[in-house]
């Protein structure tokens, strides 16, 4: 799964390896966005623990659509019913 994690404060790109290889983007708003794929929920929790250990205020965690060939993956739709 791909995730976007936002924290308050800026991180140097050298922290990427410590955050499981997630890409680091510092925003002009004083936030940092960590983006990338993690193999499972345990890896996500590991990254979140590292955010906590650094004392960075966690702003948001969002799961992103998986991309295949540059196109967003299919989204499950609402259940359909059939009227006969």
Cβ atoms of 38 and 23 within 8 Å: the answer is no
What is the pTM (predicted TM-score) of this model? 0.76
59, HSE (Cβ side, Cα atoms, 13 Å)? 13
Q: Other CB atoms closer than 10 Å to residue 51's CB: what's the count?
A: 18
The reported pLDDT for the residue numbered 83 is 56
Distance CA 59, CA 55 (A): 12
Cβ-proximal residues to 6 (8 Å cutoff; 6+ apart), any chain: 31, 32, 33, 34, 58, 59, 60, 61
Residue 71: what pLDDT?
45
**pLDDT score, position 74:** 45
CATH architecture classification, 2-66: 2-Layer Sandwich (3.30)
Q: What's residue 25's pLDDT?
A: 97
55 DSSP assignment = T
Low-confidence ranges of the chain (pLDDT < 70): 66-84
Q: Where are the domains of the chain?
A: 2-66
């Amino acid at each position: 799964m791909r995730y976007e994690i936002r924290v308050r404060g800026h991180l140097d790109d050298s922290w990427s390896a410590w955050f499981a290889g997630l890409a680091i983007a510092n925003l002009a708003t004083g936030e940092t966005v960590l983006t990338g794929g993690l193999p499972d929920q345990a890896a996500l929790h590991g990254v979140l623990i590292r955010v906590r250990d650094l004392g960075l205020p966690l702003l948001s965690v969002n799961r992103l659509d998986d991309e295949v060939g540059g196109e967003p993956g299919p989204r499950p739709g609402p259940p359909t019913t059939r009227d006969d």
